[in-house]
Amino acid sequence: MVGGVHPNFYPEQTLADIEPDVVGIGEGEETLLQLLDHARDRRFEDVDGICYRQGDKAVRTRPRTLMRSIDALPLPARHLLPVEDLVMSDRLSDTDLRMAHTMFSRGCPFPCRFCAAAQTRIQYRSGASARRELVDMIERYGIEGFAIVDDNFIVNKNKVRDICTSITDLHLRWSALSRVDTVDESLLADMARSGCLEIKYGMESGSPKILKAMRKNITPDHIRRAVQWSRSAGISVKLFLIHGYPGEDRQSTGETIDLLTELAPHIDRVSLFRFVPLPGTYVYDHPDEFDLHGTSSQPGWKGDWSQYHIHHNDTHWWGTDEQFAAVQAGYDELASLVSTLWPDRHESGPSLPTAR
Ligand code: B12
Ligand code: SF4
């Protein structure tokens, strides 16, 4: 059985690609239990949210409705995994605190065109549920901190506050990912009080033109404010960048370089990724609109999904050779700035050849 983001978008193709018995579509917790009930008789037709083979046909059952509340789920069965896969001491900002990863929400309602998690319903856990999991991890593993790996933790401020107030007295340190336009000074102060030590923002670009094209719907001023407010609250800042979105040119790269240079004294870490038209995103689904070539929805596809890797990415995805050359040169410039300004605190992929 397989499931997850990619199979959700392409169940029939996944069935053909890796030949599992069943592909799960949508939330899997209830589906799995029902599948196991039918493991022996193999009567899957009444299990919602799956795709499976019937003879030589791929059959999809009714869609699975989203759970009304993810609070009712039991805690993850971490005890079934080796402890070294769960508890680490080199993953929480610059600390060596014993930490684990967790999720307090699912989904993201925003429409970013490069993101495979876009426009999904957001569901939060309650503060009580978050606390229960953290207390369990303190007792079992002695954690001193945790990283919230939700796509976009800060969408509903009331829900975030509920979690913050419920966990303050545990004295854990934590980090999370967010947009820059959903935070404010008072929320950041509450987060800092409850132990937040680092926030990772999706800045993506310093160019208003590219931010608009991405439907990121933020401006350089949103970025400046979020960075400044976070630092004033005592929270370190990590920025995520995407370089090479369709339309990127020397000018837009220059704007990113200028904004990064301006904000550098307040930024602790940077991750620089190259744009990839990830399957399931708006860009991927509209190859003509973005002058894409070589994606799996187009002729010439060789069936190698591994080329959709944001670091090991040597593909000329869109536009003319001249545009590609400009993107390559821009990337090299940006990557060199990032490695100069944050010598031990950056992440970026290798630079690439300029020919297709
Ligand atoms: C954590 C994470 C990582 C971690 C993974 C750590 C680990 N050891 O698992 C790291 C940092 C390593 C990582 C790497 C990458 N990631 Co990542 N990652 C995520 C993230 C944030 C959460 C994934 C997760 O665990 N979710 C929690 C689980 C419970 O949810 P779920 O997988 O969706 O499963 C639910 C259902 O799908 C279903 N289900 C799942 N399995 C099954 C099985 C069955 C049988 C059934 C019935 C149901 C079922 O039930 C679950 C609960 O309801 C997602 C974002 C997201 N929204 O999911 C991105 C995401 C999955 N990653 C993404 C990408 C692109 C990558 C990379 C390719 C990036 C790169 N380097 O180029 C690599 C690929 C690594 C690889 N080798 O595969 C994209 C995928 C896009 C796409 N089109 O597939 C996502 C969606 C981010 C995004 N917003 O675009 N990633
Ligand atoms: S990039 Fe962030 S804000 Fe945009 S859709 Fe994805 S998770 Fe949501």
- Residue closest via CA to ligand 2's atom 5 equals 118
Orientation angle between helical segments 250-263 and 220-232, nearest 10 degrees: 20
pLDDT given at position 309: 82
For ligand 2, what atom is nearest to the CA of residue 204?
1
pLDDT given at position 351: 58
For residues 202 and 240, give the distance between their C-alpha atoms in angstroms, rounded to a whole number.
5
- Residue closest via CA to ligand 1's atom 61 equals 5
DSSP codes, 169-192 = GG--EEEEEE-SSS--HHHHHHHH
- Ligand 1: centre distance to CA 163 (Å): 24
179 in ligand 2 pocket by Cβ < 6 Å?
yes
For ligand 1, what atom is nearest to the CA of residue 20?
45
150 in ligand 1 pocket by Cβ < 6 Å?
no
152 in ligand 2 pocket by Cβ < 6 Å?
yes
Q: pLDDT tens digits, the chain, 356 residues: what are they?
A: 999 999 999 999 999 999 999 999 999 999 999 999 999 999 999 999 999 999 999 999 999 999 989 998 999 999 999 999 999 999 999 899 999 999 999 999 999 999 999 999 999 999 999 999 999 999 999 999 999 999 999 999 999 999 999 999 999 999 999 999 999 999 999 999 999 999 999 999 999 999 999 999 999 999 999 999 999 999 999 999 999 999 999 999 999 999 999 999 999 999 999 999 998 999 999 999 999 987 766 666 666 777 788 777 768 889 999 999 999 999 999 999 999 999 988 887 665 544 33
**Which domains, and CATH codes, for the chain?**
5-60 (no CATH), 70-348 (3.80.30.20)
pTM: 0.94
Please say whether the beta carbons of 241 and 271 come within 8 A. yes
- Residue closest via CA to ligand 1's atom 55 equals 151
pLDDT given at position 308: 83
Residue of 2, 5, 21 to test ligand 1 pocket, by largest number of atoms within 8 Å of CB:
5
Extract the tokens encoding 20: 């599992």
For residues 110 and 210, give the distance between their C-alpha atoms in angstroms, rounded to a whole number.
16
Nearest residue to 238 (alpha-carbon basis) of 112, 342, 84, 87? 342
